Amino acid sequence: MFKPTLKSTPIILSLLLVTAAANSDAPPGTGKAGAAKSAVDRSDAISVSVTIGDARQLAREFGLTGHKPLPPGIRKNLAQGKPMPPGIAMTRMPEGFLTRLPHYEGYEWRISGTDLVLVAVGTLVIAHMLADVFE
């Protein structure tokens, strides 16, 4: 059994530093924490060019106001980088409304309660949210 001594301390510290440096060169998204972060980072790649004010004005023009918010328990699960919670009814939007919103390939706009949500088509991961647009 190895017993550290004052003479062996610099060697142990050197080995720890070398190990830490080798692990810091690992590519992002490796390991459990990195994998979870990279899933969120992919949804952050969309830079949305519509403001809440613009979306609210557009909703008023198309008569899409007056929606009720989601129940608090469900709404807290609605967040960027997370998948849409199951069981949320999606309201269909008029084509004219959708054509006035910016289009992003592989994503679609959805109404969820009072919020306008941009989701990835295949995974339903939320890429961007505009809160309380349809109040």
Q: Which pLDDT band holds residue 2 (cuts at 50, 70, 90)? A: low
Q: Which pLDDT band holds residue 31 (cuts at 50, 70, 90)? A: very low
Between 9 and 36, name the one with better pLDDT. Answer: 9
pLDDT in tens, 87-132: 777 677 889 999 999 999 999 999 999 999 999 999 999 999 999 9
Beta bridge partners of 125: 83
pLDDT in tens, 47-80: 788 999 999 999 999 999 999 998 888 888 889 9
- The pTM for the full model equals 0.65
Helices (H) and strands (E) in the chain, counts: 5, 3
Which two tokens mark 41?
């980072």
DSSP H or E segment with residue 59: helix 52-61
Q: Cα angle vertex 25, ends 21, 28, to 5°? A: 135
What's the pLDDT score for residue 87?
77
The rounded Cα 19 to chain-centroid distance in angstroms is: 33
Q: Is 113 exposed, middle or buried (0-12, 13-18, 19+ CB in 10 A)?
A: buried
Whose tokens are 């519509």? That residue is 50
What's the pLDDT score for residue 59?
95
- In eight-state DSSP terms, residue 82 is S
